Amino acid sequence: MTIDKGVTVLIREPIPKDYYWFATLENDFPDIRPVIGNLLTLAVLLDGRVEDLDRIPKSVVAVLVWWMAKNLLDEKIMKLEQWYETAFHLCKQRFDVTMDWLEQQPVPKILLMSRVLTKFAQEQQREMRKANRKK
């Protein structure tokens, strides 16, 4: 992403492996101000490249953090328990993947896999209801 004054930074999509970091932040530092939490999250999504964070002009930090929260985090970050449950069902179904592989995938891909799984389960329930009516 190119921001003010031609400064370019690479902000990656969150991956499920980041959920452990989010859980640590939430559990170990419950009183942390949201702005500090967002800045720390930005640093994580910059893959810890502090020099990139240092290059971002002060005047655009607020906009960048807002963009990151809106486009990369809102409605995409799961609690650890929810992640484990989702990963269990995705691994158990015909995706034939391991937890390690899942943790490296972008969150939108995981959410898509989850929607596919939900749709499949709903179709199976409809089929079972139809079969029960025919009896």
Per-residue pLDDT of the chain (135 residues), as tens digits, is 666 667 777 778 888 888 888 888 888 888 888 878 878 888 888 776 667 777 777 787 788 888 887 877 777 777 777 777 777 777 776 555 677 887 888 888 888 888 888 888 888 899 889 888 887
pTM of the model: 0.56
Residue 21 has a CB neighbour count (10 Å cut-off) of: 13
- If you search the block for the tokens 């650890």, which residue do you land on? 80
State whether residue 7 is helix, strand or coil.
strand
Alpha-carbon distances, residue 112 vs 17, 34, 100, 130 (angstroms): 17, 28, 18, 27
